[in-house]
Amino acid sequence: MAEDKSKRDSIGMNMKGCQTNNGFVHNEDILEQTSDTGSSADNLQHSNTSILGSQEPDFKGVQPYAGMPKEVLFQFSGQARYRIPREILFWLAVASVLVLIAATVAIIVLSPKCLDWWQEGPMYQIYPRSFKDSNKDGNGDLKGIQDKLDYITALNVKTVWITSFYKSSLKDFRYGVEDFRQVDSIFGTMEDFENLVAAIHDKGLKLIIDFIPNHTSDKHTWFQLSRTRTGKYTDYYIWHDCTHENGTTVPPNNWLSVYGNSSWHFDEVRNQCYFHQFMKEQPDLNFRNPDVQEEIKEILRFWLTKGVDGFSFDAVKFLLEAKHLRDEIQVNKTQIPDTVTQYSELYHDFTTTQVGGMHDIPLDQYSTEFMGTEAYAETIDRTVMYYGLPFIQEADFPFNNYLTMLDTVSGNSVYEVITSWMENMPEGKWPNWMIGGPDSSRLTSRLGNEYVNVMNMLLFTLPGTPITYYGEEIGMGNIVAINLNESYDTNTLLSKSPMQWDNSSNAGFSEASHTWLPTNSDYHTVNVDVQKTQSRSALKLYQDLSLLHANELLLNRGWFCHLRNDSHYVVYTRELDGIDRIFIVVLNFGESTLLNLQNMISGLPATVRIRLSTNSANKGSEVDTSGIFLDKGEGLILEHNTKNLLHRQTAFRDRCFVSNRACYSSVLNILYTSC
């Protein structure tokens, strides 16, 4: 009976308004089936008492307990000491969410535009035929580039730039293209290219390739169809009537080829002259033809689907010609017109740098695209036209090769190149700098070995994207001119010699008995393997500079402020709002000189720390700011703690530049624009 009483009490505790809390009655089925009539009567009586009794149980004096029914829970939850903390926590949660949303919106609104991948770090330009031979035929190839990706990654570069590798039968550095969708067999196969792209991306790098929209090979299918006036291909090239008698052609005008003589060539199949800015085997495309433009777009899409991240458009200053065919003006107006045969004897106002063209190639539909242009015009102000207009985007940047054109160097000449580009570049655009390239003499051959380190320091401390031509990081020079079985000006071949990897046969470039170009005779001492082990080598400094550039906001986002220059040196600072220190860059291009920085920057302490030096022995030491002695070709990056930034001072307002303004918050570790 005691057990029955316990069961009845349990049922009574869980009954209210004929509602049963089954969570606390585990044996209802047993109770309902009991044959004890006395017990049933007792249960019924107890149940009736519970139902007919007080409608609100008395919980006075009862404390909360685990497993309490909801009726008990509701009695306690309504009490002030439980309700108020709960409401406080709820509204705190709501307020926190609103604060987070507001903070996120504020950060998005105030944050500067993130740098694109082509702005984040250096580009490394490779001439594929000379980089690494993987199949022992004496020619560099795509597999060879893939084999050396670890080396490229160790340079801290972000982008690999491969020059032309398209199918071409001409020995013209692969710029007379027969098929824009094929890899020339000398470099490998399309599968090799696809493997290279995958390997480059696996390393976290990006890839840009050369593209030549101005002309094709005369063996290209388009040209063959155009010669016979077949369908839409009839006007794919620039054709014009001309007189051709007894083997002599009278061209439509006096326009000249880059390589001399008339830029018009008579075609016996079509019985007209076609226009060529370069060799007669390279007819110019008619870029005003919408069908040609569409062909170009389709080719770009083809390579983008292969994984290419961007393009370098070559020879774009030749892309359009004036529709009229008026003669170009002679430089020497007294010269007999029939004797004008050299390209330099005319002003090329009608055949170069015509407005428009590049904005007809939209790449903005692709999220990772890049478009650079090789538009090397006569003056900087004409080259920067390829940035486009405020509402017409053309190139992300035209490649800036003006430092490669310095045959002699001084503080004044370097300053002139820097400021000319900055002053002519449209507001908000991004600069770039290069000190070598496949069509210019190598730096050491132009200026001397003593300038390798200081020019690389210049490259990495200027605002914008640094671009390195393969071998410049170790100070490679031109090869000696010899008889070469190649077309074009052989002088442009001298900077394309095989990469110098080690002191083995052929400088480690190839295991073949003969290479397409000879290696430089200095490869025993100027090579990658040797410089890897030398703490003061050009390669080691290059790696230090590229690492500093990657890790310092002062260099990749900061202001550039020019301090002073003369025939010997150039001095400038790199600084950023929110960072209470600046870099003072001192580069000497002249003879040994003594420099007083205190005359240039007020409040400069007696000594500052050398962050990086072309002489690695000085790294980390202190230097006297009232008298800094610099050898020829010596450079210093000095670090100075200060809150007095130069770009805020009226005296320097016209001498400071920034592409995308940003400020740094050390508290939040973010960049913002409202400085």
**Domain identity same for 256 and 234:** yes
Q: Which of 487, 553, 482, 556 is nearest to 521 (CA)?
A: 482
**Domain identity same for 201 and 221:** no
Q: Give pLDDT, residue 71.
A: 77
Q: Give pLDDT, residue 69.
A: 82
Q: Give pLDDT, residue 452.
A: 97
Q: Which of 235, 223, 224, 363 is nearest to 287 (CA)?
A: 235
Q: Give pLDDT, residue 57.
A: 56
Q: Give percent above pLDDT 70 in the chain.
A: 86
**Domain identity same for 583 and 650:** yes
Q: Give pLDDT, residue 483.
A: 67
Find the domain containing 376 and state its range.
118-213+298-316+362-549
Phi, psi angles (nearest 5°) of residue 101: -65, -45
Q: What is the CATH number of the domain that holds 537?
A: 3.20.20.80
Q: Predicted confidence band at 173 (pLDDT cuts at 50, 70, 90)?
A: low
The pLDDT tens digits for 11-65 are 444 444 444 444 433 444 433 444 444 444 444 344 444 444 445 555 566 677 7
**Domain identity same for 122 and 228:** no
Q: Give pLDDT, residue 17.
A: 41
| Residue at 387: amino acid letter | Y
**CA atoms lying within 13 Å on the CB side of residue 424:** 18
Q: Which of 394, 387, 461, 386 is nearest to 614 (CA)?
A: 461
Q: Give pLDDT, residue 351.
A: 94
Q: What is the CATH number of the domain that holds 659?
A: 2.60.40.1180
Q: Give pLDDT, residue 650.
A: 92
CB 159, CB 467: distance < 8 Å: no
Residues shown for the chain: 675
Token pair belonging to 151: 């080396």
Q: Give pLDDT, residue 36.
A: 46
pTM here is 0.85
Q: Which of 374, 425, 378, 373 is nearest to 405 (CA)?
A: 378
Q: Give pLDDT, residue 56.
A: 52
**Domain identity same for 417 and 518:** yes
Q: Is the pLDDT assigned to residue 588 strictly greater than 80?
A: yes
Q: Give pLDDT, residue 219.
A: 94
CB 524, CB 543: distance < 8 Å: no
| Bridge partner list, 434 | 467
| Bridge partner list, 594 | 629
Residue 108 is assigned to a structural domain of this protein: no
Query: How many CB atoms sit inside 10 A of residue 561's CB?
Result: 23
Residue 35 is assigned to a structural domain of this protein: no
Mean pLDDT of the chain: 87
CB 374, CB 312: distance < 8 Å: yes
Residue 393 is inside which H or E element, if any?
strand 392-393
Residue 446 is assigned to a structural domain of this protein: yes
Phi, psi angles (nearest 5°) of residue 84: -65, -50
**Domain identity same for 162 and 239:** no
* For range 194-219, the mean pLDDT: 96
Phi, psi angles (nearest 5°) of residue 537: -80, 160
Q: What is the DSSP letter of 311?
A: E
Q: Predicted confidence band at 620 (pLDDT cuts at 50, 70, 90)?
A: confident
Token pair belonging to 29: 């089925």
Q: Predicted confidence band at 356 (pLDDT cuts at 50, 70, 90)?
A: low
Last residue of a domain, one of 528, 549, 570: 549
Rounded CA-CA distance 619/627 in Å is 18
Q: What is the CATH number of the domain that holds 252?
A: 3.90.400.10
CB 53, CB 17: distance < 8 Å: no
Q: Predicted confidence band at 362 (pLDDT cuts at 50, 70, 90)?
A: low
Q: Give percent above pLDDT 90 in the chain.
A: 70
**Domain identity same for 221 and 202:** no
CB 380, CB 397: distance < 8 Å: no
Residue 72 is assigned to a structural domain of this protein: no
**Domain identity same for 171 and 265:** no
Residue 459 is assigned to a structural domain of this protein: yes
Q: Which of 560, 551, 614 is nearest to 582 (CA)?
A: 560
The pLDDT tens digits for 422-477 are 999 999 899 999 999 998 999 999 999 999 999 999 999 999 999 999 999 999 99
- How many domains would you assign to the chain? 3
Q: Give pLDDT, residue 51.
A: 40
**Domain identity same for 478 and 525:** yes
Residue 325 is assigned to a structural domain of this protein: yes
**Domain identity same for 581 and 668:** yes
The pLDDT tens digits for 544-569 are 999 999 999 999 999 999 999 999 99
Rounded CA-CA distance 223/230 in Å is 10
| Bridge partner list, 573 | 561, 584
**Domain identity same for 127 and 138:** yes
Last residue of a domain, one of 549, 564, 585: 549
Residue 37 is assigned to a structural domain of this protein: no
Least confident of 82-86, 91-95, 107-111: 107-111
- Which segments within 190-340 are labelled E, that is strand? 206-211, 239-240, 243-245, 248-250, 264-267, 272-275, 310-314
Residue 491 is assigned to a structural domain of this protein: yes
The pLDDT tens digits for 136-149 are 999 999 999 999 99
Q: Is the pLDDT assigned to residue 633 strictly greater than 60?
A: yes
Q: Which of 598, 596, 586, 589 is nearest to 567 (CA)?
A: 589
Phi, psi angles (nearest 5°) of residue 5: -60, -40
CB 469, CB 438: distance < 8 Å: yes
Q: Which of 631, 562, 567 is nearest to 600 (CA)?
A: 562
The pLDDT tens digits for 484-531 are 655 556 777 899 999 999 999 999 999 999 999 999 999 999 999 999
If 0-12 CB within 10 Å is exposed, 13-18 middle and 19+ buried, where does residue 584 land? Answer: buried
Last residue of a domain, one of 354, 377, 400: 354
Q: Predicted confidence band at 392 (pLDDT cuts at 50, 70, 90)?
A: confident
**Domain identity same for 399 and 508:** yes
Query: How many CB atoms sit inside 10 A of residue 327's CB?
Result: 13
Residue showing tokens 């320097």: 652
Measured CA distances, 327 to 149, 254, 283, 572, 579 (Å): 50, 5, 20, 46, 57
